[in-house]
Structures are given as C-alpha cells and as structure tokens.
Amino acid sequence: MSQIGRRSISQQRILLIYLWIIMTGLFLQGIGSLILRLSPELEAVTPPMLAGILLAHIPHAVLHIAWGALGLLLLATLRTSLARILLALSFGIFYTSLAIYGTIDSHVLGLHLAPSENAFHWIVGPLTLGLGLVAWYRFFHTASTSKKKISSPRSGVI
C-alpha cells in the first residue's frame, strides 16, 4: 500500500475515534446536566469540579443529548467514510456557528452560555470542522486520483 493510502486510512481512523469520543462525551454530559438540573438534592452533594462540568441549563443539556444521540446513532448504523465526513461537517458547522453566536449573545437559542461553555464550542466546532474538511478533501481527492490511474493508457486498462 502506498504512503498516501496509509495516511488516508489513518486520517479516517482518527476522525472515527474523535467522533465516537465527542458524541459519547456530549451525550453523557447532557444526561449528567439534565439529572443534576432536575434533582436539586443531588446537585447539592455533587463535587464542585463535577458540577462545573455538568451544570448546563436544561435547553443546553437537551442540545448535547440530541447531538450526542444522533451522532452515536449515525456512527453505529452508517459505517461509511462519507457518513462520518458529513457528520463531522454538519456538527462542525453547527458548533462553530454556535460559538460565534454565543460570543455575540450568550443567550442564543435560550442556552444561557457561560464563557467556559462557549470555550468548549470554540474548541470542538472548528476542530471537528477542520477534521471533516481534511477527510472530505482526502476522500474525494483519493477517489478522483484512483479513477485517473485506472483509466490511464499506461495502466494497460482501457
């Protein structure tokens, strides 16, 4: 296998692992936030460090649960490179947009974004978008390169 093929497979693997981690983390963080918001007695005994990570407003928790559940469902059922790329691009665009709008107005979509929560969006949004764009480029560049090699007169295939 060529060096380009190895890099392409490696990049797809990185994207797959990254998406599983992000979607699982979002889902668990959203569930934890929702449980703490709906159980004040549990919130009172939760260590401050954990409470700081988990205490999102209910709409924000629901957003994390929805993205996490949708992402996990897509990763588990649609096992193609293109499906992962489209998930990364759509998630990256959404969370980058959320970071921008959250910086301008911390109450965008009724989410009541604290600066620390918006910092998370500024990290995962552009990072996921970047990984998705690189994967998209490699996916289509590799496909077009392999088509050219197959149909070239030098390959012996007409």
Select the more confidently predicted residue: 113 or 7. 113
Give me the pLDDT at residue 23, please: 99
- Average confidence (pLDDT) over 149-158: 51
Look up residue 64 and give its two tokens: 């994390």
| Residue 111 exposed, middle or buried by CB count within 10 Å (0-12, 13-18, 19+) | buried
Q: How many CB atoms lie within 10 A of CB 108?
A: 17
Residue 100 has pLDDT above 80, yes or no: yes
Residue 83 has pLDDT above 90, yes or no: yes
- Average confidence (pLDDT) over 108-137: 91
